[in-house]
Structure 1
Amino acid sequence: MVSLGSVKVLGNPVLQEILGKLRSRDTPRREFRELLFKAGVFEAYEIAEELPTEECSVETPLGRRAPCVRVTGKLAIVAVLRAALPMAMGMLEVFPDAALGFVAAKRLEADAPPRDWRLEVSVPYVSMPPDAENLVIVDPMLATGSTLASVIERLKGGGYSYGRLYVATVISTEQGIRRVLSVEPEARIYTLSVDPELNDKAFIVPGLGDAGDRAFG
């Protein structure tokens, strides 16, 4: 079993309702994008609980000081193109001062997936902010984990350093989670569901289909 300390399955009923609508084949494209955006907002609030904070104070209209708390540190949200864009924009609603990075990654199609589900992935484009302390990598579907593992390895191989890594997904599998943790054991993975299987095309079952195609056509 995957360590529960590394994975947080978000069971909030509002998020689970969003998940159900995302799964439905009857959800139109515009609504699908809006639902991904909302999922990004809610997951950002969950991730915020683990980010560094500092105490502050403000003056109220009554002339009194009141304590407050704010998130500190330089945060970067990294969208795996193209499916992650709506979720990433939702996260920016919560973290408006965060930097935004982009990674293009694509599975190299094979006649059949290898038995260990380690697919070849091309990462032709990376654009990262230079000085983030913590990263949130966003990709709605964590299937085999090959894409995210390749992205993380590309960042490390390019000399990009970061403090803590968070992964925000909608649906994951145990295989995908294991693969990500094999390249970044300290990663924290947030998801709305861990689905039970992959089909012969390495798609998550029951899943929600191809998130990029459903969001953008």
Structure 2
Amino acid sequence: MEAIRVLLVDDHAPFRAGLRALLATGAGIEVCGEAASGEEAIVAVEAQQPDVVLLDLTMPGMGGVAATERIVRVSPHVRVLVLSMADDDDSVFAALRAGARGYLLKGARRAEIIRSVRVVADGEAIFGPAIAARLTGYFAGLSRAEPAFPELTAREREILGLLAQHLTNPQIAERLGLSLKTVRNHVSNVFAKLQVADRAQAIILAREAGLRR
């Protein structure tokens, strides 16, 4: 199999030298060039056509995010793997929005860097443990964020979920241990708050939002 061609992009020459030596220990990986800025990286990508660009985000001139966006747009077959000190949400998500296929923190172990190069070269995405934990926490936070139909009370959302299961008012009353009049009042409030005319419209909204009981 052909070697994975890697372009190193970092404004610190000693760090690039260390990366070159590190990658030399990985079978089937070849460093095809180096760049010290985003501008140099764009030129080098066009000239060298690497498989993977191992790139820092913080560099003078054009930063890594802008360089990533340009590289991915002009050469979509080239995969960008970020290797950065920055672990804040803004940096991580800016790089991912720009098209980076992976994100590692500087200080990652040799085996982790080599494995990540191979993974992104194969077309997959990969994140270092610290970044993966941050992404997991971020999306878990989103799932705990504002519930569907925040204008409804918890009881009204519960009743809307039962409506979505096509339960009648008497069935809902029995299920929740409420009087039929109370259920009717809740259903009327749901219709009014959601600005729907009938049960069918309410059910459609509930199902579109993925709401169940």
Alignment TM-score, normalising by the size of structure 2: 0.38
Larger radius of gyration: 2
Larger relative contact order (CA 8 Å, sep ≥ 6): 1
Q: Which has the higher strand share?
A: 1
Alignment TM-score, normalising by the size of structure 1: 0.37
